[in-house]
Amino acid sequence: MYVCLPRLFFRRPVASALVGVLAFAGLLSLPSDDEAAARVVASGDASLSGTARVIDGDTLEIAGRRVRLEGIDAPETGQVCARSGGSGSWRCGEAAAERLASLVFRHSVSCENRGYDKYRRMLGICFVGDTDINAQLVREGLAWAFVKYSATYVGEEAKARALRVGVWQAETAPAWEYREQRWASAEQAAPEGCAIKGNITGKGRIYHMPWGPWYGKVKIEEAKGERWFCSEAEAADAGWRPVVAQ
């Protein structure tokens, strides 16, 4: 369950003076030039717009192109978060994907191109009308500000944290730590540490990341042409596509 806050619309969110204060205090690690270069491989294309399909809580597909929502990191689809007061858990990854789907449903989505990540996904700040989708997910506690790469949504995150909504209602590992933990565990059992599972189904060739909801159920049958991959780029180059959350 997540809490939906009143929508405050900002056309182009700008990090507040809070960024400088947090950085000075050592509470926020701003991206270095090397990190930014690793994430933004190329830029300069025009914006992308159209009907969007949800891949997961922070990834869309528009006109056949993958768009990673820039400046945020949503819980992974299979991730579970704690509820306030120790009253159990909730499927925060599914909630983030469902909320993103509700924001884009039957709307034209416009994404400002901010470059590309190492997986060749366009990095986009995306809007439905005047609503900044990236910011809205952070405001509702359904995504973290991805401060390793961007300080754009630090202000929205601070408000969500203060209100203890979504992932902030109880102590929860952020998505990047969750992925690291899952990968470290999976690579121990994977051939040569290549932990991505390439599965062949009626829907085609699909790959599963260690933090995906169906990863544990997928069995690789090499005799059928299924295989392991060491990186998402390798899987994409071989013609496989990621599993879709919705």
Q: What is the set of active-site residues?
A: 68, 76, 121
Long-range contact pairs involving 35-41 (C-beta distance under 8 Å, separation at least 24)? 35/148, 35/149, 36/149, 38/118, 39/115, 39/117, 39/118, 39/123, 39/149, 40/114, 40/115, 40/116, 40/117, 40/123, 41/115, 41/116, 41/117, 41/118, 41/120
Q: What is the DSSP letter of 16?
A: -
Task: Give the Cα separation of 206 and 199 in Å (integer).
Answer: 5
